[in-house]
Structure 1
Amino acid sequence: MKNCLRTNILSDKVVPERPVTTPQVPPPATVIEEAKRLAAWTAVDKHVLPEHKIIGIGSGSTVPYVVERIVAQGPEVNEGRIFIPTGFQSKELIISSKLQLGDVDQYPTIDVTIDGADEVDGDLNCIKGGGACHLREKVLAEAADTWVIVADYRKNSQLLGTNWKQGVPVEVAPFAFAKVLLNLQRLGSEKAALRMGKAKAGPIVTDNGNFVIDAPFPEEQMKDPYTLLARVKMLTGVVEVGLFCHMAKAAYFGNQDGSVTAKWHDGKVEQIASDVPSQ
């Protein structure tokens, strides 16, 4: 065992060396939380390799387990790595874990980004933006050589909109929201609505100072998410759309039985038995 003592050069006293801290992630208390951890740990083990030095950290409830597993790779592996956050949550996780924080402006090319999702279809198209971070999430997804999704079994779907009923998150410039809302309704989302804050008066405001509209579309339109993405993105006033199409290399879903389902961009599906110890 390494001797964790150092000498204080002013007093010649021997004092203990400060240990490396790890993220304060509570152990999974439910089947769903265990499934999130299974997905996150498996994805990190397979995709965040020692040679990867620029790593994107996404947003959502599964991401703390991603950071936890990265920290567990050890200080020697993480020394010299730069971690790029998609928002306030992931920034705080990076800082509290004593990992080196960077910015996509400094590192526009990323080795691998791991992120969560609100729903993923059979072709690895995703709905993202339940946490209102989808603009920055998409920037880091596009900047990455490899973009990987982690989620629990509830997010695994064949058609977007099956489980995620809130609609497609659309980030809009505040002064244009009324016109964009009307255009989304004309486009087919009759129940499109401005997302309102739950603990504040008024609408949700993103990290970029914009509003978010949640736009549910009929099943027929959700069958072709790429075309829908293009049509919504073309509306003046739209900043970004929470449809991520043709971007993911793989998606990992933690299951209730302790296994992980891995879906790949080429259509391959793999069942992985987990070696993560049960709580």
Structure 2
Amino acid sequence: MALSAWCLWKAKRWRFSGCHAEIFRGCLIPFRDYSFPVKLPRPRINSFCNATSRVHQKVMGVVDDAKKAAAFRAVDDYVKNNTSIGVGSGSTVIYAIERIAERVARENLNLVCVPTSFQAKQLILQHSLTLGELESFPQLDCVIDGADEVDPNMTLIKGGGGCLTQEKIVASCSERLVIIVDYTKESPHLGQRYTKGVPIEVLPLAYVPVQRKIEDMFGGRVELRMAKMKAGPLVTDNGNFILDWKFPPALSDWRAVNQGVSMIPGVVETGLFVGMTTQVYYGMADGSVKLHKSAR
């Protein structure tokens, strides 16, 4: 009896404070009613995260400006009237296409652009430039393309976007391969800046044998590149797979390595571009452009 009276008294007090009571095993047990608005504390803003985000945005802005500077300089130096241009793939090439379109409109240039990928083709069409193909233009005046990494000998790692085979074919159709990159792509040794490995395009049925043979011949680790927006592996424009080879740091004879990997049955092409580059345009953080020209 005393317990029931106490529960009733507590229930009345809770009712006045915005709460109710319920009957549980013959007793009135108070419980909170959250149907009325509850004022929650304001979330605390993490000033450190905001500051980090602002720094990241600033750095990316500097990198984008560097890409643009390199692309504009290369286009101004190499794109002339009545020429055929190979157009590469990647984020830096977007600025090159923009500059080519500006000059075509301003100077009424007559030129043909041959793409290395679906992305490049769409950019050419979006900017109302003349689209060409290697069947009609097998010899190009120059090719402007990007790279994932460049060493002091202008050996390149390309293929981060999966277009390495088309890029190498188009590059082989000109005596001038002009590379446009920002300062973050310059590296003292391949693999120090671009750590995802050398992309290798392979026939789907051969990807496991190729994986094993590369690891047996040269060491390192070879992984099948998986798609990000679909289940399963990434599929190239040619319907093939991409292997990413994280090679041992001691490797340096890239011409021999490229030849050895290319000879493995099932390999379509490697992302190593050895002895092909004519000139590299490095967009720097201060807005300037550094040139590295081949002796040939």
Regarding TM over 0.5, the answer is yes
Alignment match of 2:272 (pick from 243, 253, 267): 243
Indicate the residue corresponding to 1:120 in structure 2. 150
Indicate the residue corresponding to 1:54 in structure 2. 84
CA distance in 2, matches of 1:102, 1:77: 20
Q: Deviations over 1:76-95 (max 9, x none)?
A: 75553211000011100100
Indicate the residue corresponding to 2:29 in structure 1. none
CA distance in 1, matches of 2:292, 2:219: 30
1:178 aligns with 2:178: no
Secondary structure of the corresponding residue to residue 179 of structure 2: strand
CA contact (8 A) 2:103 2:109 kept: no
TM-aligned CA deviation for residue 189 of structure 1: 3.6
CA distance in 1, matches of 2:231, 2:114: 31
Indicate the residue corresponding to 2:70 in structure 1. 39
Indicate the residue corresponding to 2:175 in structure 1. 145
TM-aligned CA deviation for residue 35 of structure 1: 0.6
TM-aligned CA deviation for residue 122 of structure 1: 0.4
Indicate the residue corresponding to 1:70 in structure 2. 100
The CA RMSD measured in Å over matched residues stands at 1.6
Gaps of 5+ in 2: 1-58
TM-score, with structure 1 as normaliser: 0.82
TM-aligned CA deviation for residue 100 of structure 1: 0.8
Matched residue type, 2:78: H
CA distance in 1, matches of 2:244, 2:108: 38
TM-aligned CA deviation for residue 199 of structure 1: 1.2
Equivalences for 1:204-223 in 2 at 5 Å?
204-221=234-251, 223=252
Indicate the residue corresponding to 1:266 in structure 2. 295
Which of structures 1 and 2 has the bigger CA Rg? 2
CA distance in 1, matches of 2:196, 2:73: 29
Gaps of 5+ in 1: 1-27, 268-279
CA distance in 1, matches of 2:197, 2:279: 23
Alignment match of 1:255 (pick from 266, 280, 284): 284
Number of residues of Structure 1 aligned to a counterpart in Structure 2? 238
Secondary structure of the corresponding residue to residue 207 of structure 1: coil
Indicate the residue corresponding to 2:231 in structure 1. 201
Indicate the residue corresponding to 2:259 in structure 1. 230
Q: Deviations over 1:130-160 (max 9, x none)?
A: 0000000001111013110001001011211
CA distance in 2, matches of 1:249, 1:74: 24
CA distance in 1, matches of 2:167, 2:112: 17
Indicate the residue corresponding to 2:217 in structure 1. 187
CA contact (8 A) 1:169 1:214 kept: yes
Please state which structure has a larger fraction of its residues in helix. 2
Matched residue type, 1:255: M
Deviates more, 1:71-80 or 1:99-108: 71-80
Equivalences for 1:82-97 in 2 at 5 Å?
82-97=112-127
